[in-house]
Structure 1
Amino acid sequence: MPTPSAGLENSGSVPNDFTHSAQGTSLRRILGLPALVFFGLVYMVPLTIFTTYGVVTQMTGGRTALAYVVTLLAMIFTALSYSFMVRRYPIAGSAYSYTSLSFGAGAGFLTGWSLLLDYLFLPMINYLVIGLFLNVAFPEVPAWVFVVSAIALVTALNVRGINSVSSMSNLIVAAQVIFVLVFLAMAGKSLFGAPIDFTAPFVGDGSQPGLAPLMAGAAVLCLSFLGFDAVSTLAEEARDPRRDIPRAIVITTLIAGALFFVLALVAQLVFPGSAFQDVDAAANEVMLKAGGQFLAAFFTAIYVAGSVGSALASQASVSRILYSMGRDGILPRRLFGTLSGRFQTPTTAILIVSAVSLLAVVIDLATLASMISFGALVAFSAVNLAVIRTHLFDRRPRQSGDLLRYGLIPAIGFALIAWLWTSLSGLTLAIGLGWFVVGVAYLAVQTSGFRRKAPHVQFSEFE
């Protein structure tokens, strides 16, 4: 495999419509900057703050808004690292591809394997939430019926192509924006004239003092920002990936971070403290306090729609990571590394993700949440290190600002992510490390006990 120092930084040196040399086929390049930003936003689901709002508020002692500031700080530096890598390597595969090209195929596989833990279970969480919420609204219908129906709908849209995903994403983001405006208006009305302690969301209620609870909450909230990573998986479907993908990554992170902070701040002002009747359903208590039954019902409808959109986007992303790994031969190529002749989408990978998602019928939300954090932080750490390796070690810095751009920024990003690592629960670490060990064992089999090189990516423009 050629080294990453093969002079690819110049955006004019690599055509945007390159294809993989092993397949001779390419994904369709139809997405512009607005579609990429919407994709990232719907993946993160602007209302996802209310999924973990009660848990994080209780964990931080009423400092969820401040925890979002900490998380956003870490995510900004990491998002910049993603933008640096996608500008150089505008390919599908996200952290897997970047690590493969920077550290070798073995490290890339283990990064991709860890990321799969995250991506495979993100659609499942959405399906599980859809089943739970709709079962409450329609108790005569079993939750599994809603779960299976949602999986079938999302799978059909993904098989048809990314244009279907993009169109659906735009509608769902628009609906959530309307809800956010209604929530803010009704919350403002409920707060009007009442005494407000604007320091409470930052100092907390005293139930969980100190930095450790705040960082523990921030570690949970980092999962809310996975949308910018998902944007990078569409690099081979963007019309101008070197320009639009980096911009979309940073724009998505900033918009989502600001939105999460504002919603957390307003929710805390409306419902001060961290004591809830049901911590998992804390959002309903906030909605009832802000706008009564109308707002609570409106929230449920929009939240379910957002979960469908998030499942749509997350399934699209993980299927493309599986396709990239199959195309490279690290996963069975015939199973994962092929595109549909009719729709030019990784249909087999999409169907496999759908089959795994059926576990949402029997698995619980707490277990799923524990499985996701590990993969996200592995990917974020690997991409920050890949920037340093690729831009500073594999070639000499060309400008004085390169040391700042490709050295200090990713180093800060890695340090902040490492800090979040220390706040993960023991269960999360145990599950994540177990998954990682399985990946090492699989790689050992594929490489005959590490005596052979792992299958690796080969793009014609890198040769």
Structure 2
Amino acid sequence: MPHLSRTLSLAAVVLFGVTYMAPIIVLGTFGMLAEETKGNVPTAYLAASIAMLFTALSYSHMARAYPVAGSAYTYVRRSINSKLGFLAGWSILLDYFFIPMVIWLIGASFLHSAFPHISLSFWLIVFIVLTTIINVIGLEFAKSINSLLMLIQSLIIVAFIVLCIHYVTTDGTTPLFSLKPLWNQGAHLSYILAGGAVACYSFLGFDAVTTLADETKEPKKIIPKAIILVTLVGSAIFIITSYFVQLAHPSFVFHDVDSAASEIAMNIGGDIFASFFLIGLIVGQFASGVSAQTSASRLLYAMGRDGVISKRFFGKLSPRFSTPVNNVVLCGVVALIGTQIDVLTAASFINFGAFLAFMLVNISVINHFWIREKQRAGLQIISYLLFPIIGFLTTFWLFVSLDRLALILGIIWLALGIIYLAFLTDFFKKDPPEITLD
């Protein structure tokens, strides 16, 4: 019988998580966040980083307690309640379904901007087909692709920062270290939180690594470490990069918000660098798309394997490749919705599910360690009570900062989940199927 093989090391899992974040997306979405925060993008990333770090700590605790694929779905159902766990899985499923589409849609938008005679839909389909083929073949092939693509986008980010520093120092009127990119005259807490709420979707890499527990050599040791490392690395990249870009372009006004980074690249490096930047952005989106589709297919496999959703379709592995081919292909098909909606709509939809799942995981830590196991001595007060409370409150703060459309779409998705749960449990009279640890 085909099965998932434990081949991934700490370095491979961290690479997967950081690649999932697509670090170069800090440049791809800079214009949107600059407009949202009124020119305080690094502060928005700082706010998002704080919230995500406390939540990542909670994820690491739960990953150590339950070293199995399933993410928030597994943690909440095992530590609190199986029905609530189902709704946590349903919420995070929203993210995993739509994140690949957002990633590919951003890449397709930049390519369409560079080659306007070729439709955005064409580029989107190219992204979908190529990444689907890679993920059908398997993670070992994806790992080799990710290493190369991560190197390319890392070089682009470094070059962008260096050119921003050169641009600022050549100008001679702006100090290299200033508080203005963090808090200018137009800054307001509501703008920062709104920007932070949007920026948080880039941090889902720490959550994504939990879906690889069944394919990691020592998941109980490696996954918790990887969660924290991915969050710290991502935070550093996003904050440092956005700081220097904001320093080089303090305004939040652009000719085109969607391609603002290309405009900045042109200003700091000319036509040649702008072309290299476009290549790096597309490479980053492609690499992140591979990781995002991998995680989505693994979460569906974890839920299908125990019969929460159709086991015949979702819990099946390919005899040839030992990968969940049905789930991989389904993710690609869902991404075709991107031909009909824009990036902001899709990204807003994602954030609702992410924040809801994050809040539940923070509660899970308190319930599992503090209440159920009574681990309340010394530093356990901080680890299992104080930090999860902070993680919950900071995430809730970002949650209520979502725009109205995100809340409406999210509530509709959650309502559908409750209806399906009622069907699955004979109107809540019994528990939904429980996930296995094999």
Q: When the two structures are superposed, what TM-score results if normalisation uses the length of structure 2?
A: 0.96
State whether structure 2 residue 218 is matched by structure 1 residue 240: yes
Q: CA deviation at 1:131?
A: 2.4
State whether structure 2 residue 183 is matched by structure 1 residue 203: yes
Change in 2 beyond 3 A, CA 1:276/1:306: same
Partner of 1:80: 57
Separation in 2, partners of 1:343, 1:25: 8
Partner of 2:153: 176
Partner of 1:158: 135
Partner of 1:263: 241
Partner of 1:97: 74
Separation in 2, partners of 1:240, 1:234: 11
Partner of 1:129: 106
Partner of 1:11: none
Q: Once superposed, what is the RMSD of the aligned Cα atoms?
A: 1.5
State whether structure 2 residue 29 is matched by structure 1 residue 52: yes
Letter of the 2:235 counterpart: G
Partner of 1:215: 193
Partner of 1:279: 257
Give a deviation string over 1:186-232, Cα, whole Å, max 9, x none. 2222222411151211222x33x321111111111111111111111
Q: CA deviation at 1:252?
A: 1.0
Change in 2 beyond 3 A, CA 1:162/1:80: same
Separation in 2, partners of 1:352, 1:168: 22
Give a deviation string over 1:37-80, Cα, whole Å, max 9, x none. 11111100111112321122122221111111111111111111
Separation in 2, partners of 1:356, 1:66: 34
Q: CA deviation at 1:362?
A: 2.4
Contact between 2:28 and 2:106, CA under 8 Å: does it hold in 1?
A: no
Q: CA deviation at 1:147?
A: 1.8
Separation in 2, partners of 1:196, 1:430: 43
Q: When the two structures are superposed, what TM-score results if normalisation uses the length of structure 1?
A: 0.91
Partner of 2:94: 117
Partner of 1:392: 370
Question: Secondary structure at the residue paired with 1:62?
Answer: coil
Contact between 2:168 and 2:174, CA under 8 Å: does it hold in 1?
A: yes
Letter of the 1:117 counterpart: L
Separation in 2, partners of 1:222, 1:146: 26
Question: Secondary structure at the residue paired with 1:201?
Answer: coil
Percent identity reads 39
Contact between 2:61 and 2:224, CA under 8 Å: does it hold in 1?
A: yes
State whether structure 2 residue 269 is matched by structure 1 residue 291: yes
Q: CA deviation at 1:127?
A: 2.0
46-55 vs 151-160, which moves further:
46-55
Q: CA deviation at 1:139?
A: 3.6
Q: CA deviation at 1:328?
A: 1.5
Contact between 1:271 and 1:289, CA under 8 Å: does it hold in 2?
A: no
Residue 440 (structure 1) aligned to one of 418, 421, 424: 418
Question: Secondary structure at the residue paired with 1:235?
Answer: helix
Contact between 2:348 and 2:402, CA under 8 Å: does it hold in 1?
A: no
Change in 2 beyond 3 A, CA 1:273/1:26: same
- 1:375-454 mapped onto 2 (5 Å cutoff): 375-397=353-375, 399-454=377-432
Stretches of structure 1 that go unaligned for 5 or more consecutive residues are: 1-23
Letter of the 1:303 counterpart: L
Separation in 2, partners of 1:101, 1:422: 27
283-292 vs 371-380, which moves further:
283-292
Q: CA deviation at 1:327?
A: 0.9
Q: CA deviation at 1:386?
A: 0.8
Letter of the 2:6 counterpart: R
Question: Secondary structure at the residue paired with 2:334?
Answer: helix
Partner of 1:314: 292
Separation in 1, partners of 2:297, 2:161: 36
Contact between 1:270 and 1:289, CA under 8 Å: does it hold in 2?
A: no
Letter of the 2:180 counterpart: A
Separation in 1, partners of 2:436, 2:266: 55
Q: CA deviation at 1:426?
A: 1.0
Q: CA deviation at 1:149?
A: 2.1
Q: CA deviation at 1:25?
A: 6.3
Q: CA deviation at 1:104?
A: 2.4
